[in-house]
Amino acid sequence: MSSPVSPDHTPPTRHEQQAPREQDRRGGVIERLGLNWRLHGDGRHVAPGDVVTPRERLAWPRTISIGAQHVVAMFGATFLVPLLTGFPPATTLFFSGIGTVLFLVVTAGRVPSYLGSSFAFIAPITASVNQYGPGGALGGVIMAGAALFLIGVIVQIAGTGWLQKLMPPAVTGTIVALIGFNLAPSAKQNFTAAPVTALVTLGSIILISVLFRGLLGRLSILLGVAIGYVTAVIRGEVDFTSIQAAWDEQGVFGLPQFHSPEFHLNLAGLFIPVILVLVAENIGHVKSVALMTGDDLDPYMGRAIISDGLATMIAGSGGGSGTTTYAENIGVMAATRVYSTAAYWVAALVAILLSVLPVFGAAVATVPQGVLGGAATVLYGMIGMLGVRIWVQNRVDFSNPVNLTTAAIAMIVGIGDYSWSVAGLDFAGIALGTAAALVVYHLMAGIARARGSVGSDPLTPDSSQSPSPLG
């Protein structure tokens, strides 16, 4: 016989029983997306020696302010890529915002990063546009993104050891360096189109980077481009008619210009080597953030590469350039000591909003050749020097003929932009230089180890302590 139910203990209704489960389910989704930030302290101050971790945030007004700083930090580099390649700036900005959102979701809000346009794509995009038009270049971007995605999956499962064996520092540094230096003729072409404006732009970037500390110094490229743009306006080198046309045709809001991709197999050799730069930048970014925050982010290394690959494929499918994690934003985090991914959500949403303002995109597109030439002179060289930095940081021993010969041959092939056509497929300097670095290194290293002919292993770091006679 059942006992009577007390009127003070009415059984919960089905809706009341389901409500906690729904809340738990929503809470689980929010946590997986990395949106469950804790308020840091009082939300207004960061104590000396303390940091705001990726899973924390400040009060929303301060978070929005820092997000705006991230937009400024990434903007100079992000909009230069479409200007140099002929892609619509608004479209590239749109997909950089979408890519950043995807990155934050895939990494569960543990890795703060903005995905901006990668300079490594400039050379292959420029070459492929001349041959197949924008559609062919976009197809190449998608192929690179797919290859990067696959590498990310393997890294997530097996770690990075296999990658280091396939491409040791001597090889990786060489490939990254030749990608940057291969662009030298393009920089020269833009520079000589308006040398006075280009020189003002270049000089401004140089001076700002050493005259100012903190955020201003890190924005040397953006500020240098702004000064160069004003110079170009004074010299009558800027055409503003496109801004008025954008206002007349689209008004305040309008979607950016999208473009569909085309696929040509012979472009794979031109685009896929670029992923070496992207892998190096992603791994370096994750390790840098881990060092600054004290978090163990190695489990998210593969996720970061996977999300960058997905973001690059999405961008290529609609008219944007390939993406990468941005070192510029690490500078903002170091200066503010705020590593909250909430600030990056703000930056991504602001970028998407700016991309649907047609007048804004048209204004960016008016940046003239001279300004681009001055900025490109610095930026392309920086890409090349990133490869040199890989050599230095890993103490590559160039007294070993395996390392020396690998770099020597591949650099000349890449910088000289050698070309080769076989079976209807055309290969240019970047693809051939990459192939040369891999083949020459592993062939020479294999023979040297079998014969014991070079004394030391090419992977042995340079232990020389004697100073260079050049100082």
Q: Which pLDDT value is given to residue 319?
A: 93
Query: Which residues have a Cβ under 8 Å from the Cβ of 360 and sit 6 or more positions away?
Result: 90, 354
- Spatial distance between the Cα atoms of 47 and 63, rounded to a whole number of angstroms: 16
Q: Which pLDDT value is given to residue 126?
A: 87
Q: Which pLDDT value is given to residue 181?
A: 87
pTM here is 0.74
Q: Which pLDDT value is given to residue 341?
A: 93
CA nearest neighbour of 289 among 60, 58, 112: 112
Q: For residue 153, how many C-alpha atoms fall within 13 Å in the half-sphere facing its CB? A: 8
DSSP 338-353: B--HHHHHHHHHHHHH
Residue corresponding to tokens 């580099």 = 77
Q: Which pLDDT value is given to residue 184?
A: 87
List average pLDDT for each run of 10 residues in the chain, which is 471 residues long: 51 58 63 83 84 90 86 78 87 94 93 89 88 93 96 90 84 85 86 94 91 75 89 92 84 88 89 84 82 83 94 95 82 81 93 90 86 86 83 88 93 89 72 89 90 70 53 37
Partners of residue 420 on adjacent β-strands = 427
CA nearest neighbour of 301 among 154, 166, 97: 154
Q: Which pLDDT value is given to residue 309?
A: 96
